[in-house]
Chains A and B, each alone.
Chain A
């Protein structure tokens, strides 16, 4: 069965713009989490969605937001982009909230110039 699909794979944006990233979880999985990966900070948790509701949130500013649709697909949005937002954004899906095992997509590489 298909894995976690993230689109687009690569993105270049200008400071001040906003961006939307998409994640389609494994079929049947209902929990989607987002992570930011940078060389300096490593992998950091952004937020988790389950049944269209944000269940958990990491320590990121309000410019980072997300949502989940009824088919479990999720989007994350970053507004007013800063150079420091350049990162690999990874999405992970799990069958249920509370499952400790997560399956990751290939990520979206965002470059802010």
Chain B
């Protein structure tokens, strides 16, 4: 079945460092890909999405490009802030009701 594998955490960075969180997927067909962020005690917030190959999703300085040839959707940010500390989930969906998530990567950004 469809699945998502993302980089194990935790990841600790200094403020203004470059961030990459790797995500690869296995799926039949052409899924939509997502990054969600979860802050402590909260639900999931959609960070960005891409619905077809070569699409680039972007939001709040974060970017990810849908690479069908490498089945990847890596999350990047050029300069992280302390407020970016959270857990990040890569996900895929072929229909809205059955979204498959990666295990999550905890990011801590130190001042």
Chain A, interface SS category: strand
Are B97 and A101 within 8 A (Cβ)?
Answer: no
Instruction: Label chain B's interface by main secondary structure.
Output: loop
A contact residues around B44 at 8 Å (CB): 90, 92, 104
What's the interface size class on B, roughly?
20 to 34
Q: Known contacts A43-B101, A45-B99, A48-B98; decide if A100 and B93 are in contact (CB<8 Å).
A: yes
Given A48-B96, A102-B96, 9 more A-B residue pairs with CB atoms under 8 Å apart are A6-B43, A33-B99, A45-B99, A45-B100, A97-B97, A98-B95, A100-B96, A105-B43, A107-B43
Which residues of A are in contact with B by a Cβ distance under 8 Å? 4, 6, 31, 33, 35, 42-43, 45, 47-48, 50, 55-56, 58, 90, 92, 94, 96-107
